[in-house]
Amino acid sequence: MMGTSFMRILTLLLRHGTAKYENAIDDIEAFFARQLPSVEWDLLVIDNTLPEGYEEVLPHKHVLIGGSNAQWEFSAWDNGIAHIGRRLAEYDLIHLATSAFATLYTRYLDRIGSEILQLILRRGAAVGHIDYYNEPIVIFGRQSQAWLRSSFVFLPPAELKMLGSLVSVADQAGLFTGNPTAPFRDDAPMSENYRQYILGWLTGDGTGQGVQWHSRFALSQDTLPWFQSKVLTILNEHMLSIRLRAQGCAMVDATWLATRAKTLPPAGQPLGPIPSWRKQITERDTDPAPSKVLFRSMFSLRE
């Protein structure tokens, strides 16, 4: 196994100005200093309020560039990948992050360290926090139930290269009616329960798991553009995991990986097969006092 001092990680941090999450860079620096102190780390900040083509060197040799806000973080990450170019392959892992990474459930962040990331090096695997719905949904003809939270994901550069663009859904035309009382088209490629999950998360009481989004809002003609943009982001987040799985890249829950690492011999044995997300979430060693965001009803899971 490669020593931790030889691991190279590049973070692509998306932000939309500094009015919100103004300490995002400091928080990312603190995370790496605390939990990944031995890795070689570079930070590229993509700011969607700055014009594409903008570039500035920040303190500590971090780099700031402008990005496209067309599809929020997903188009911005495309800008970052294009900026790095061929140098992307020089890194062992690429770290996708948004400035909001420290919101909602965050305890999984404490599980991430060099030891567990070493376990998935040179494997088709993406590490983050697995979220899931109580029931499977259908999107663009694909059934799915779980996805990696895209605000904090580590994955190999080869997987990004195979993906091409991180934008999966860009066209609103086939999705929305323009009517806030019935926002989705009847023929939109989304199952009815997926529509209700999204409406509940953005504008209501959540998705039936006892959790509410901190920025929910009432749906009206004035908020409809914001709603539609948020829906596209949710679809792109879920489609990212679907596309990764389709190309053979496993979703790995960081808490499960840290739990599994405790059972491995100290001699540096390989991780072995990566089980399904269902098995991972039942085996992960959750916190003694789990937050509501982490808690899910195991009885709702389907094999």
pLDDT in tens, 9-45: 999 999 999 999 999 999 999 999 999 999 999 999 9
**Lowest-pLDDT range, 49-58, 221-230, 261-270?**
261-270
- The pTM assigned to this predicted structure is 0.91
Does 200 have pLDDT greater than 90?
Answer: yes
Cα first-last separation, the chain? 34
pLDDT in tens, 230-265: 999 999 999 999 999 999 999 999 999 999 998 887
CB-based contacts of 59: which residues, under 8 Å, 6+ apart?
A: none
Decide if 167 contacts 236 (C-beta within 8 A).
Answer: yes
Is residue 197, in this structure, part of any structural domain at all? no
- Taking alpha carbons only, the member of 236, 276, 237 closest to residue 256 is 276
pLDDT in tens, 201-236: 999 999 998 888 888 999 999 999 999 999 999 999
Is residue 214, in this structure, part of any structural domain at all? no
Residue 6: pLDDT band by 50, 70, 90 thresholds?
confident
Is residue 195, in this structure, part of any structural domain at all? no
Is residue 89, in this structure, part of any structural domain at all? yes
Domain that holds residue 29: 4-167+234-300
- Taking alpha carbons only, the member of 22, 21, 99, 30 closest to residue 67 is 99
Is residue 37, in this structure, part of any structural domain at all? yes
- Look at residue 213 in the predicted model and tell me its pLDDT: 86
Residue 269: pLDDT band by 50, 70, 90 thresholds?
confident
Bridge partners, residue 63, by sequence: 44, 57
The structural domain count of the chain equals: 1
Where are any strands of DSSP class E within the chain?
Answer: 8-15, 40-47, 55-57, 63-66, 93-98, 125-128, 130-139, 142-148, 152-155, 250-253
Relative orientation angle of helices 224-246 and 192-203, to the nearest 10 degrees: 130
Does 93 have pLDDT greater than 50?
Answer: yes
Is residue 206, in this structure, part of any structural domain at all? no
CATH number at residue 11: 3.90.550
